Amino acid sequence: MQRPSRDALAEVRAFFDVHEQEGSHPGGVHLEMTGQNVTECIGGSRPVTFDDLSSRYHTHCDPRLNASQSLELAFIIAERLRKRRIGLQPSIAPALL
């Protein structure tokens, strides 16, 4: 099973966008992730390719974001929360989403 990390980023972006449009509070995000250097999700700042999947694919369930993909997403979430707190419109680099 393959999953592009950009899909997880897009889902989180959409989550924040919907809450922003509705004027509601984004109360939580659940992610499948690990601190291990796995190759279960394609993409990220240190790109994992389709050919890399078999080298360190250890999950028996949903594919997990690896450490660098998780950090990338954590920074995006932190930036969205910061901008929300100070009342600015989100402007995340399109390349990340």
- For 38-80, what is each residue's pLDDT tens digit? 776 767 777 776 676 666 666 666 677 888 888 889 999 999 8
Q: Which domain holds residue 71?
A: 5-86
All residues at 6 or more sequence positions from 11 whose CB lies less than 8 Å from its CB, including other chains = none
Question: Does residue 58 sit within a domain?
Answer: yes
- Model confidence pTM above 0.75: no
Question: Does residue 31 sit within a domain?
Answer: yes
Residue whose C-alpha is closest to residue 41's, from 59, 20, 28: 59
Structural domain count, the chain: 1
- Asked whether residue 62 is marked as a ligand-binding residue, the answer is yes
Question: Does residue 80 sit within a domain?
Answer: yes
Question: Does residue 41 sit within a domain?
Answer: yes
Question: Does residue 95 sit within a domain?
Answer: no
Q: What is the mean pLDDT of the chain?
A: 78
15 band by pLDDT with thresholds 50, 70 and 90:
very high
- Asked whether residue 32 is marked as a ligand-binding residue, the answer is yes
Question: Does residue 96 sit within a domain?
Answer: no
Question: Does residue 36 sit within a domain?
Answer: yes
d(CA 28, CA 79): 15
